[in-house]
Amino acid sequence: MKKLLKKRIIIPVLACGLFFTTTAFQNDFFEIAKQLEIFTTLFKELNMNYVDETNPGDLMDTAIKSMLADLDPYTNFMNEQDVEAARINNTGDYTGIGAKVKTLKDKLVIVEPYKDYPADKAGLKAGDEIVKVGNIRIEDYKEDAGELLRGVTGSSVEVTYKRQGKTNTATINRAEVEIKAVPYFSLINNKTGYIVLSRFNEKAAAETNYALRDLKAQGAQKIILDLRGNPGGLLNEAIKIVNLFVPKGQLVVTTKSKVKKYNKTYYTQDNPIDTEIPLVVLIDGGSASASEIVSGSLQDLDRAVIVGSRSFGKGLVQRPKELIYGTQVKITISRYYTPSGRCIQALDYWHRNEKGEAVRVKQENYNEYKTKNGRKVFDGGGVFPDASFDASNNSAITNAIVNNDLVFNFATDFYYKHKLDNVDNFKLTDTDFNEFKSYLKSNNFTFETETEKALNKAFEAATKEELNDNIEKDYKTLISNLNKSKTSIIDENKAYLLELLTEEIVKRYVYREGLYDYYKRHDTKIKKATEILSNPSTYNDYLH
């Protein structure tokens, strides 16, 4: 009788749970269907009845982007070109001219030719402006002009380009291009190996594995892994790279989501290469996502000393979902957590300020966690290095200088004005920096700060209300003082700007490979890493 009673009680409870779950699902489904129907009806009526001609594709593109902008910057709609770009980023392979190219309205700018690839062999250099591909003028081409440079292996393309005011032509024979995840590795000294990992594509772990084995065969007894500027990529590749240095079966990362199937724990699956070799990992503000999984987990496991400046702080995982007509949507599906349990996400996109801006997690709200050896580590703001360097003070003004290609263009002019047979000891001087500041002025570099915008808006309001007579003098004084402040900010960022200029200039003479050689001799973070590794007691002190 008791068993029968239990059955009578349990079955209704289960049925009730199923009812609520099903009802919740049906409510969600109904709400989605309802909103889709409203939107479809609106979209149709708008395009059919609006007073002027509309472009349905442009309207839909705006609608999608506006909707996704309310979420986070990593949840993106991907058209067919975006999908192909993502494929290239993940595989590292494509057919083309072998150069990093920037697409502008009226030209294609060669940002960086890859050594010994077609563009380089055809004589193209950074700064060259392609204005015509075959018979097609870039300014007349309405689609993605960068696609004009793609084509099958062995095919050729003629380009017309401008260099320092002169027009030239070149024929480029397209070829298979391989973008390496590890573009460089070598010995720094007879016992220290240096590996640059620039991206987490499908070859990242295999190339890092090869570099590590090769360096050990050359006599390396210590390793520096450089993740600076690495924006991340494939999660599984990050786990495999951690696995090179830690045993099989070690927890590396956990992902948590509202969708149960995305709640996963990831462990190392293979036998490691070397669990004892002293290891330093270099990071900076450009190290994100998979870079932070590698650096954060190796820090949590006390397997590496982290050197540099605080990483970017991206603790979110995305997954592409196929749509129709060759498009995709990349959706943030979960947050990830390092072995100690911390999530290093720095910006809160779900509790924005009154301006709609994502808010950085405040330091007083960081939570404390412990590494394997009991060291304190924190969440909420990226990975904090064990040996920390001040982050470059890249203010809004210096960002504007970079985004307006003024560093890039100055480097182009410098290259054609100065013949350097050897860059080993190249160093920019105060005179060079003053020339750069003059270059900014001659190119009419202007940048309106948020303060200026607010002052201008206030003065416009005062003018409308006819209250400007008494404050005009003060307003002009404030604007003048702000302009002086902007000039001083450029001087305050001298070291950072010289660093950017040096990097861009050195690449012009010796390609990216030569830049890494230059870093080995001059980079302060590499010197610090080498110093830590050269002293076993110092190295161990960082980890305990």
Alpha helices (H) along 284-336 = 290-300
- Nearest one of 277, 289, 295, 282 to 222, comparing CA atoms: 277
Tokens of 234: 């494939």
**Are 290 and 232 within 8 A, CB to CB?**
yes
Alpha helices (H) along 193-272 = 204-217, 235-243
**Are 82 and 73 within 8 A, CB to CB?**
no
Q: At what angle do helices 2-49 and 56-69 cross, to 10 degrees?
A: 140
CB atoms within 10 A of CB 73: 13
SS3 of residue 418 by DSSP: coil
Q: Terminus-to-terminus CA distance in the chain, angstroms?
A: 63
CA-CA-CA-CA dihedral for 164, 166, 168, 174, to nearest 10: 20
Give the bridge partners for 137, in sequence order.
132
- Nearest one of 172, 122, 169, 174 to 150, comparing CA atoms: 174
**C-alpha span between 526 and 469 (Å, rounded):** 58
The residue type at 159: V
Centroid of chain to Cα 178: 20
**Are 278 and 222 within 8 A, CB to CB?**
yes
**Are 405 and 413 within 8 A, CB to CB?**
no
Kindly write down the DSSP assignment for every residue of 510-535, as one continuous string: HHHHHHHHHHHHH-HHHHHHHHHHH-
Q: How many CA atoms lie within 13 A of 29 on its CB side?
A: 6
**C-alpha span between 289 and 170 (Å, rounded):** 40
Helical (H) or strand (E) element with 329:
strand 328-337
- Nearest one of 282, 299, 307, 115 to 197, comparing CA atoms: 282
**C-alpha span between 292 and 48 (Å, rounded):** 49
- Nearest one of 455, 288, 262 to 381, comparing CA atoms: 288
**Are 520 and 188 within 8 A, CB to CB?**
yes
**C-alpha span between 95 and 24 (Å, rounded):** 49
Task: List, by residue number, the catalytic residues.
Answer: 289, 300, 314
